[in-house]
Amino acid sequence: MEQHSAQARWERHTQRPLLAMAVAFAVAYAVPIVDSSAGHSLTTLCTVVEWLVWGAFAVDYLVRLALVPRRKDFVRTHWPDLCAVVLPVLQPLRLLRLVSTLLLVGRRARMAPQIRLTTYVVGSVVGLLMFGSLAVLSVERDSPNGNIRTLGDAVWWSFTTMTTVGYGDHAPTTGLGRMIAVGLMLSGIALLGVVTANIAAWFISRFEKDDVEERRQTEAIASLAEEVRLLRAEVARLAGDREQQRS
């Protein structure tokens, strides 16, 4: 119990700093892509920030692993966290660091009880739209046959891909770009399913509340009608007793 509370305290205290680091990662990832004329020093600084943020999440995972009593169960139930920490070490690609950071931020956000499902879905949509646009722009901008050359093109493509509309006016031509497209399409379908299920659950709960309120009012009316009936019977009995006394 003490170890569980220590883990909960660690997650509670580190949640905001890690989210702030994730924002710093987003900025560091976006600057070299948006500003294609960025110098070597700025690009190096952004890369260092990305690795520092990844390192912070890796340390967070190791600390949480050390605080739990059953480490094997923790590793088994938190395998996405482990993959997100290990993948950039095996293949230090900026895109993998992007996926890892998004994955770890999502895992930590879901652990926070005060973050509601709607907020998480909206944040996921915005995050996937932004990072999908930046990721596809970074791999397609220099492609000889590519047609995604500007940030506007990338945002439009990401939006149509996530919503599974797919106008076809912009499409990735590289293998990595198509992998990003597959990820965005699957994410869009999953988020659409979550939103639909959430709305349906809200309507169902609303109808159930209305049914409960209607049943309560019906029972109250029936109880009141029964009390009125008993009161009338009592009045009739008293009136009959009074007539007998007069006679």
Q: Per residue in 2-60, pLDDT tens?
A: 455 777 777 777 777 877 777 787 788 788 877 777 778 888 888 888 888 888 878 88
Confidence of residue 105 (pLDDT cuts 50, 70, 90): low
User: CA dihedral in degrees (76, 78, 82, 85; nearest 10)?
Assistant: 180
Confidence of residue 80 (pLDDT cuts 50, 70, 90): low
The answer to whether the CB of 54 falls within 8 A of the CB of 61 is no
Question: How far is 11 from 7, CA to CA, in rounded Å?
Answer: 6
Q: How many CA atoms lie within 13 A of 86 on its CB side?
A: 7
What is the number of other CB atoms lying within 10 angstroms of the CB of residue 51? 15
Q: Which two tokens stand for residue 110?
A: 């879901």
pLDDT in tens, 178-216: 888 888 888 888 877 777 777 777 778 777 777 777 788
pLDDT in tens, 107-149: 555 544 444 566 666 767 777 788 788 888 888 888 888 888 8
Q: Which two tokens stand for residue 120?
A: 């998480």
Whether residue 223 is predicted with pLDDT greater than 70 in this model: the reply is: yes
The answer to whether the CB of 154 falls within 8 A of the CB of 133 is yes
DSSP 8-state code for residue 145: T
- What pLDDT does 1 receive? 47
The answer to whether the CB of 42 falls within 8 A of the CB of 107 is no
Alpha helices in the chain (DSSP H): 2-34, 40-67, 71-77, 79-90, 94-111, 117-140, 151-162, 175-246
- What pLDDT does 102 receive? 57
Cα–Cα distances in angstroms (integers) from residue 153 to residues 130, 145, 186, in the given order? 12, 15, 20
pTM of the model: 0.55
- What pLDDT does 112 receive? 45
